[in-house]
Amino acid sequence: MRVADFDFELPPERIAQEPAAARDGSRLMVLDRGTGAVAHRGFADLSDELRAGDLLVLNDTKVLPARLRGTKPTGGRVEVLLIEPTREPGGEPSWRALVSGAKSIRPGIAIAVSPELTVVPLAREVNLWRVKLVHEADDAFAAIEAAGEMPLPPYIPRDVGDPRARLDRERYQTVYARMPGAVAAPTAGLHFTPELLRSLPSLGVEIAFITLHVGLGTFSPVRVTEVAAHTMHDEAFSIPEATAEAVLTTRARGRRVVAVGTTVARALETRANEHRGVAPGAGRSALFVYPGYQFQVVDALVTNFHLPRSTLLMLVCAFAGTDSVLNAYRLAVKEGYRFFSYGDAMFVRSA
């Protein structure tokens, strides 16, 4: 299976550069997993596609404003993208980070981000740096919140001073985000409003949460020719006991487990057990889902429109069939759907 099999023509203007005026104002393409049939709706109509007894599983990770713009003692500009916290055995807390202009960076220099926050590179680790945050805030997360910018993907550029950056703080975050640690949003969840979520229990739809901290891999292109040769970055996740129990109960009742986003699908499938339920607990997932994979837990999927040749697109193709998904994507391009993080949504439904 070749990466080129997941290519399609995507005009640059189809990649959304800012969110819809309202979260649930985006469009929703409904794709039937069995027949490949397509319907066009609005995301506010998602509740019409859900059924009493369905379990909607959401990723409650919170995106850190992890992009830090700083200055070296020489006056040179540096950009630091924090990836995840780490701690060396017996050492002090640190972070793994991408550092721009890394050839001129040396361990121990002070990169001034703000009067309250300084980044100090400690050691090079292959393509990343281990860095220390020096701050006066109550904790590192508070310091990052005060000084950082949202780590939008490279296809949504923001210059310094762009007025849309303030909107990004709100809209590149789900309304139910509560567990800080992601460097990219679980974008399928960006469409949900508090009102929509509050309406679902009255329809008999149950809601549960997992946490998967979306990491650097979400920005990484597939650089190999053969799909099976690609290696996924691992990401930290946690599945609460209550969510595992809800999945098992839903299965026992013959109802659907609806994953909101590829991150939820990967977390649930990583912990799938022989009862087609999931084992609770924390871990790291490097699960690579592409056509040929047999889903054990997920019955329906809410997702955004993904980029050509991406692992996210491959997962959706594994779930609904490559031909059906690529046909739907080509139709989406023709019909003017907006793609990727700030774009429109798709609901892949099952019987």
Q: Is residue 91's pLDDT more than 70?
A: yes
Q: Is residue 103's pLDDT more than 80?
A: no
- What values do phi and psi take at 49, rounded to 5? -90, -15
Angle, helices 322-334 vs 311-320, to 10°: value is 120
Q: 78 falls in which pLDDT band (50, 70, 90)? A: very high
Q: Per the structure block, which two tokens stand in for 36?
A: 């490949």
Least confident of 66-70, 84-88, 189-193: 84-88
Residue 30's SS3 state is strand
Q: 102 falls in which pLDDT band (50, 70, 90)? A: low
- pLDDT tens digits for 166-198? 899 999 999 999 999 999 999 999 999 999 999
**Cβ pair 300, 256 in contact under 8 A:** yes
Q: 207 falls in which pLDDT band (50, 70, 90)? A: very high
Q: Per the structure block, which two tokens stand in for 44?
A: 């506010």
Residue 253's SS3 state is coil
Name the one residue in this structure whose structure tokens are 């040749």. 309
Domain residues of the chain, as ranges? 3-63+171-349, 67-148
- pLDDT tens digits for 20-59? 999 999 999 999 999 999 999 999 999 999 999 999 999 9
Question: Between 217 and 285, where is the model more confident?
Answer: 285
What whole-number percentage of the chain has pLDDT above 90? 81
Q: 289 falls in which pLDDT band (50, 70, 90)? A: very high
Helix (H) or strand (E) holding 117: strand 117-125
Q: Report pLDDT for 299.
A: 97
**Average pLDDT, stretch 192-217?**
95
Domain 3-63+171-349: CATH class, spelled out: alpha beta
Q: 219 falls in which pLDDT band (50, 70, 90)? A: low
Residue 97's SS3 state is strand
**Cβ pair 84, 144 in contact under 8 A:** no
Helix (H) or strand (E) holding 63: strand 61-63
Which CATH architecture is the domain 67-148 placed in?
A: Beta Barrel (2.40)
Q: What's the rounded Cα separation, in Å, for the pair 192 and 28?
A: 12
The residues with which 69 forms a beta bridge, in sequence order, are 79
